[in-house]
Chains A and B, each alone.
Chain A
């Protein structure tokens, strides 16, 4: 059913700390490694070693330069499914392949029902869904349902692969529907935000903005580099000759 549950018992999701993410891509490769053998397997690669490498990934890390009056900084930004409370990707699905679970709020695709119409990927503003041209169906983050409920794993390993892999603990997993959970308290403490709140998808995943500049960092007063003026005379002639 592509109608949304009125209420989910839990709101499992991720909290991503943009202050501590170093953009190492460990979460990206860990996600690919686990999921290419997991619930939505395979995560197809096309021309992986050629000039037009393409393939399905559930997690992509962008890098941005954020410049404000306080100065500039590099922000590494992991982007994956936000398991929204109002996921239009689910309601637009004509076949019932896309669904949001009433038990934990995770948004999933039933690959056996997907007709590959791609409309869900159009309806997702965050680019969370990627089409597998090889299999002909849509694929997306499962929040590692085959890890978080996996009794064969040690309890501390029952977290999504991206969270387990993060070397700087920039990724947190938990129940965002429970205000007393550690993850909810982290969001409250660090004023976590929704992405594109104006679109009304109510994402479950939250992002923790980078901490404010302290002003304690070293000042760099070196002048900016200027272009070299063109030399005249003999040296200028040599320069022009060698430049040709």
Chain B
């Protein structure tokens, strides 16, 4: 599948934004993070900026972005429509929580309720994003039980690492949040490795034989219907050399998981100004690593239409 940057950035940014929003909603609403105006403002602004930038980026992928409002109508059948509805609905408790926690400096009571609802909305939105991919049968690497949990784990991971930077920035570093971010990073690493292992061993029942209805023997493409690449090949026939795939997997592991885990480990033992620098570095590297991960998620996914073109 062609990795359109608009979508790669969109899913990575909204994942981190919703992860951070969910954590702020739960921990702030219930009073585990003190209701401080500047901390709250910066935290909520960061989460909402990531979400808004992602959602705006996604409309850049559309052929007719001016009609995007229509996408809220088919939530009965379409995960993409559900994603749109969930993302907009989530803004309501998010706004209430922001007013209560940031501007009124309160937690507990209705602010906690709004925070928990915002968190539930964030989790739901991330789930709908994951389901858009997990529901596509023609792409075996996506239509698997690994896809939905991956979106949730990565949102928790990137959100947790961002929350850690935020708290460090205000000199409120929390061992529990730090440990959570580190554990989520390790969990994300493990899940990604398991996904790659599953995909590399995948035996796809759809072949050139079932695609053409020609039973038995071998089916070899001898002539395409067209001399140049068409929409199908540009969009669905994206290929990367295996050696690049291996290198990119290493880069992803280093940037998204290994280095952030190492840096977060350092935050445990090093004093404050250094801990803040390491925390920020971990978040930046992880975001870059997750862009590479999402790029690979598309680039390594094979659509059944490529079978018609002799691309196994």
Q: Please determine whether A63 and B222 come into contact, CB atoms closer than 8 angstroms.
A: yes
A77-B212, A96-B73, A196-B211 known; A123 vs B63 contact (CB < 8 Å): no
Q: Please determine whether A137 and B236 come into contact, CB atoms closer than 8 angstroms.
A: no
Q: Please determine whether B77 and A117 come into contact, CB atoms closer than 8 angstroms.
A: no
Chain B residues with CB under 8 Å of A157's CB are: none
Q: Please determine whether A125 and B206 come into contact, CB atoms closer than 8 angstroms.
A: yes
Across the interface, name the chain A residue whose C-beta is closest to B67: A115
A209 is an interface residue with CB less than 8 A from chain B: yes
Q: Please determine whether A196 and B74 come into contact, CB atoms closer than 8 angstroms.
A: no
Q: How large is the interface on A (under 10, 10 to 19, 20 to 34, 35 or more residues)?
A: 35 or more
How distant is the Cα of A116 from the Cα of B231 in the complex, in angstroms?
13
Q: Please determine whether B214 and A114 come into contact, CB atoms closer than 8 angstroms.
A: no
Which of A6-14, A53-61, A158-166, A220-228 makes up part of the contact surface? A53-61
Q: Please determine whether A198 and B213 come into contact, CB atoms closer than 8 angstroms.
A: no
A130-B230, A198-B206, A209-B215 known; A95 vs B74 contact (CB < 8 Å): yes
Across the interface, name the chain A residue whose C-beta is closest to B74: A2
Q: Min CB distance, A136 to chain B, in Å? A: 3
How distant is the Cα of A97 from the Cα of B226 in the complex, in angstroms?
28
Which of B49-57, B147-155, B278-286, B300-308 makes up part of the contact surface? B300-308
Chain A residues with CB under 8 Å of B139's CB are: 122
A2-B77, A62-B224, A66-B217 known; A95 vs B67 contact (CB < 8 Å): yes
Q: Please determine whether B304 and A125 come into contact, CB atoms closer than 8 angstroms.
A: yes
Chain B residues with CB under 8 Å of A3's CB are: 76-77
Across the interface, name the chain A residue whose C-beta is closest to B61: A117
How distant is the Cα of A121 from the Cα of B304 in the complex, in angstroms?
11
Chain B residues with CB under 8 Å of A119's CB are: 80, 132
Q: Min CB distance, A219 to chain B, in Å? A: 20
Across the interface, name the chain A residue whose C-beta is closest to B209: A66
Chain A residues with CB under 8 Å of B138's CB are: 122-125, 199
B125 is an interface residue with CB less than 8 A from chain A: no
Q: Apart from A3-B77, A113-B70, A130-B232, what are 7 other A-B pairs with CB-CB below 8 Å? A: A63-B223, A67-B220, A122-B1, A127-B232, A136-B64, A138-B63, A207-B212
* 5 nearest CB pairs, A to B: A116-B63, A136-B63, A68-B217, A127-B305, A60-B225
A-B contact pairs, 14 of them (CB 8 A): A2-B76, A53-B226, A64-B220, A64-B222, A67-B220, A77-B308, A90-B77, A94-B70, A96-B74, A118-B63, A121-B232, A125-B303, A194-B213, A196-B304
